[in-house]
Amino acid sequence: MSESRDSAAGDSRAAIPEPSDSTSGKRGSGSRGSGGRGSGGRGSGDDAAFRMSRRAWTVLLSGVLVAVFGLVGALVRVPYVSLGPGPTYDTLGGSNDGPVVQVDGKETFPTDGELRMTTVSLADEMTLFGALGVWVSGRYALAPREEYFKPGATDEQVKQENVQQFQDSQSNAQVAALRKLGFPVKVLAREVVSGSPADSVLEAGDRLLEVNGRPVASDQDVTAAVAGTRPGETVSLTFQHEGQPERTESITLAQREDGRPEGFIGLQAIDRADVPFDVKFTLEDVGGPSAGLIFALALFDRLTPGELAGGNHIAGTGEITEKGEVGAIGGISFKVVAAKEAGATAFLVPERNCAEAVSAAPDGLKLIKVATLDGAVTAIEDLKAGRPTPAC
């Protein structure tokens, strides 16, 4: 018996089972011999090859995914814009084209200090990676693109709208400042609705003298003149076209589309300065309406003796109407930061922006609440004299 075992053992060692024996399901001593992890079955070489193949595919797939994510992050645009502190401009100083506020044909006076307008930087066509960078920066913010770009509007249309708003802010600032200084204003036809009653006799830019027999001294007089009228009534318009003799024409009022009972004339009026000198603002590549207040203050300072700012470094923002009313604006949280970084020590804040300004203002920047041009001038004079100023 012992010989039989020895012989069997010897045979087993002498004839190592082939791979077919392993795969046939036999679990004899041969299948667990040296061939189990050696040259037979899935030996060490085959296992290594299998592991190498799986590892290579894993690495390759990971690389592809990383590359795809990188391309998506770098190329795919997201529907957001980036907002942050923008450039600031001292309106008592100069630009590449000379003084920011130029007055020709009228005596001007020296100024001292700064009246600095502030802006918000806006970056469009944000990529996914760019948006993530903005989000974690803490200095910039993301906002839905549709809040700043009308759906369907081209870049050129958006640019033209911003330029028009900026030009309107300059015109309003000029009228507000000159009106405060006692200069006369004139009323012009800003827009004439195509096909309206006024379209038959007026053109944009015509000077309005009387409407419905009432003298016109401001744009509000035009609205008041047709109050209480009804469609179908006849009213008179007295106007002047490009320096020609004044004319009086009669028109028949139409029905309003908004349902109000008053007759529809189809005219939008606007106040403009009526002075024998020229005012020009030289800043370019700036858009939006929020520079109006600072432009008005700068023009007022140049046309009055004494130095309004009195050596102080003042910044600010705010829309302004022809009547000198200061309106709220957007992005003030970025503007107060830009002002402080530019060296301003005081900031003029539209009354309705006070809460947001207080939450974002850097240390050392004095916030002054304003609601009108008159109030802003008084606050700056109080600041110069060391008196208390309206605070947010």
Report, as an integer, the average pLDDT of 54-74: 61
For the beta carbon of residue 255, count every other beta carbon within 10 angstroms. Answer: 13
375 pLDDT above the threshold of 70: yes
Q: Quote the Cα angle for 126-71-53, to 5°.
A: 155
- Predicted pLDDT at 126: 74
- Predicted pLDDT at 46: 60
For the beta carbon of residue 391, count every other beta carbon within 10 angstroms. Answer: 12
- Predicted pLDDT at 146: 80
CA separation for the pair 116, 215 (Å, rounded): 39
Residue predicted with more confidence, 263 or 1:
263
CA separation for the pair 209, 206 (Å, rounded): 10
212 pLDDT above the threshold of 90: yes
3-class secondary-structure state, position 231 = coil
Q: Is the dihedral of CA 19, 25, 30, 35 positive or negative?
A: positive
Which two structure tokens, joined as six digits, stand for 171? Answer: 């015109």
Q: What confidence tier does 1 reach under pLDDT thresholds 50, 70, 90?
A: very low
- Predicted pLDDT at 154: 77
299 pLDDT above the threshold of 90: yes
Q: Is the dihedral of CA 74, 130, 329, 352 positive or negative?
A: positive
Q: What confidence tier does 152 reach under pLDDT thresholds 50, 70, 90?
A: confident
Instruction: Classify residue 54 as exposed, middle or buried by CB count within 10 Å of its CB (0-12, 13-18, 19+).
Output: exposed
Query: Are 309 and 380 contacting, i.e. CB atoms less than 8 angstroms apart?
Result: yes
Q: What confidence tier does 50 reach under pLDDT thresholds 50, 70, 90?
A: low
Report, as an integer, the average pLDDT of 6-22: 36
Query: Are 203 and 189 contacting, i.e. CB atoms less than 8 angstroms apart?
Result: yes
> Which residue from 227, 226, 207 is spatially nearest to 217, judged by alpha carbons?
207
3-class secondary-structure state, position 375 = helix
Q: Report the share of the chain in percent with pLDDT over 90.
A: 61
CA 217 → CA 3, 15, 142, 253, distances in Å? 133, 120, 45, 22
294 pLDDT above the threshold of 90: yes
Q: What is the dihedral of CA 330, 333, 334, 339, to 10 degrees?
A: 110
Amino acid in the structure at residue 332: I
For the beta carbon of residue 31, count every other beta carbon within 10 angstroms. Answer: 19
Report, as an integer, the average pLDDT of 30-35: 41
**DSSP H stretches of helix in 76-218:** 128-137, 155-180
Beta-ladder partners of 64: none
Report, as an integer, the average pLDDT of 85-112: 91
Which two structure tokens, joined as six digits, stand for 207? Answer: 């000077």
CA 244 → CA 28, 116, 151, 342, distances in Å? 120, 41, 43, 49
Q: Where are the beta strands (DSSP E) in the chain?
A: 80-90, 94-95, 98-99, 101-104, 114-123, 141-144, 185-192, 207-211, 214-215, 234-240, 247-252, 267-273, 278-281, 313-316, 319-320, 326-327, 346-350, 366-370
191 pLDDT above the threshold of 70: yes
3-class secondary-structure state, position 270 = strand
- Predicted pLDDT at 22: 37
- Predicted pLDDT at 69: 55
Query: Are 251 and 195 contacting, i.e. CB atoms less than 8 angstroms apart?
Result: no
Amino acid in the structure at residue 144: P
Which pLDDT tens digit goes with each residue over 300-326?
999 999 999 999 999 999 999 999 999
- Predicted pLDDT at 163: 85
- Predicted pLDDT at 63: 67
The alpha carbon of 330 is separated from its chain's Cα centroid by a whole number of angstroms, namely 8
The residue to which tokens 């020895």 are assigned: 6
Residue predicted with more confidence, 387 or 66:
387
Beta-ladder partners of 218: none
> Which residue from 288, 87, 273 is spatially nearest to 185, judged by alpha carbons?
273
- Predicted pLDDT at 284: 74
- For the question of whether the overall pTM of this predicted structure is more than 0.85, the answer is no
Residue predicted with more confidence, 386 or 127:
386
103 pLDDT above the threshold of 90: yes
Most confident of 38-52, 78-92, 261-275: 261-275
- Predicted pLDDT at 66: 59
- Predicted pLDDT at 203: 95
| pLDDT mean across residues, the chain | 83
Beta-ladder partners of 208: 239
The alpha carbon of 50 is separated from its chain's Cα centroid by a whole number of angstroms, namely 58
- Predicted pLDDT at 301: 97
